[in-house]
Amino acid sequence: MSFILKKNRDHFFPAFFFLLLFLIIAGYKITFLHYPILPKPIENVWTWELKIQFHNQKEKNLIQHFLPKTEVGQNIIREDFVSPRFYFFIGKSDGNLSIQWRGKGTEGENRLFYRVTVQTSPRKFMIDNDKLEPESYPPSIARYLALKEEPESVTLEMRQFLQSLIGEEKSKVIIVKKIFNFITQEVKTVSFAKDQNLIAPIRTRTATLTQKKKLFIHLARLAGIPCRSVHGAFLDEGIRHKSLYSWIEVFLSGKWIPIDLEKYLFGELPENLLILY
């Protein structure tokens, strides 16, 4: 009997020692290092699905669309690609990800399915008003300085207006802010505009959202600031048919800065927005 008791004690003391050591370490982490007692749940995780259904009358077919990628404010956790009759290739062009679905013998009804699980986080960019911007840009950025060809009279009027708006200002950040303030504060948003001329919003002080975006891009490029249009989709629970949402980006301080004319956001984007291309 005494032998059995002694053996149990030999196992008890090491186990008690390691348990005590574990509790001391855990208490130190919780008290001094502020470790959470329980792991934090993963927040702002969304699932976005794209379903394509079509009737094909050709033996071969090609379907192409853009894909989201991990970047500032969004982290791609998982992707699923499903089609019983198509295979696919994923490629990259101009910084965008895209997928090509290809198939042979695909006459009749076809279905393609794509699903992405993404975690989003706040997108807010700090911008230095006094930082000097480069005089020239690499080709991948300089392409967003190209101006749409307009009649000479329109181009002259646009240049004169831009000069009156920015004066002798040299800071590209402040120039962008002046353009932003003019379009959001002095140009009224309307649902329809009869005159689609690029100069019309300046003359009438009214414009559709599409006209506002085009005018912003043109004025920014005219001022020597790379500017482009970007597209995505809002991640909302319970909404099945999501239309694309577009905003603007300007290249400042070595990075693309978002500008949302519809929601009056400068240097930030809503947290529940999935960037596509």
CA separation (Å) from 185 to 122, 129, 188, 207, 266? 25, 21, 7, 12, 13
Residue where a domain terminates, one of 120, 142, 162 = 120
Whether 106 and 157 map to the same domain: the answer is: no
| Under 8 Å between Cβ of 235 and 248 | no
Number of H helices, E strands in the chain: 6, 15
Long-range contacts of 79-84 (CB under 8 A, 24+ apart): 79/114, 79/115, 79/116, 79/117, 80/113, 80/114, 80/115, 80/116, 81/113, 81/114, 82/112, 82/113, 82/114, 83/110, 83/111, 83/112, 83/113, 84/111
Cα-Cα-Cα-Cα dihedral sign, residues 211, 67, 124, 43: positive
CA 220 distance to own-chain centroid? 20
C-alpha span between 221 and 49 (Å, rounded): 35
> The domain containing residue 143 runs over which residues?
124-275
- Find the CATH number of the domain harbouring 163: 3.10.620.30
Whole-angstrom distance, CA of residue 213 vs CA of residue 193: 14
Residue 158 has a pLDDT of 92
Does 135 lie in the same domain as 109?
no
Residue ending a domain, choose from 120, 135, 164: 120
Q: Look at residue 8 in the predicted model and tell me its pLDDT.
A: 46
Identify whether residues 136 and 258 lie together within a single domain: yes
Same domain, 114 and 139: no
**Separation CA 70–CA 92 (nearest Å):** 13
Domain boundary among 98, 120, 142: 120
Cα 215 to Cα 126: distance, rounded to the nearest angstrom: 25
Is the Cβ–Cβ distance between 274 and 247 less than 8 Å? no
Residues 128, 251 within the same domain: yes
Nearest CA-CA partner of 233 in 34, 109, 40, 67: 67
Residue type at 176 in one-letter notation: V
Asked if residue 173 and residue 58 are part of one domain, the reply reads: no
Q: Is 229 part of a structural domain of the chain? A: yes
Question: What is the model's pLDDT at position 275?
Answer: 93
Residue 40 lies in a domain: no
Tell which residue, 58, 54, 67, 77, has the closest CA to residue 100: 67
List of the chain residues with pLDDT < 70: 1-42, 59, 238-242
Residues 144, 99: one domain? no
pLDDT at 3: 33
Please tell me the predicted confidence (pLDDT) of residue 30: 52
Same domain assignment for residues 150 and 242: yes
Tell me whether residue 153 is in a domain: yes
Whether 179 maps to a domain, the answer reads yes
Is residue 170 assigned to a domain?
yes
Amino acid at 221: R
Indicate if 143 and 269 belong to the same structural domain. yes
How far apart are alpha carbons 269 and 260 in whole angstroms?
7
Please indicate, yes or no, if residue 29 is contained in any of the structural domains: no
Q: Who's near 78: CB < 8 A, 6+ residues apart?
A: 116, 117
Q: How many domains does the chain have?
A: 2
Please tell me the predicted confidence (pLDDT) of residue 57: 75
Residue 163, helix vs strand vs coil: helix
Measured CA distances, 44 to 35, 63, 71, 109 (Å): 21, 31, 15, 36
19 inside domain: no
Residues 60 and 141 in one domain: no
User: Is 263 a member of any domain?
Assistant: yes
Let me know how long the chain is: 277
Are 130 and 144 within one domain?
A: yes
Exposure of 72 by Cβ count < 10 A (0-12 exposed, 13-18 middle, 19+ buried)? middle
Residues 204 and 249 in one domain: yes
Distance from the Cα of residue 255 to its chain's centroid: 13
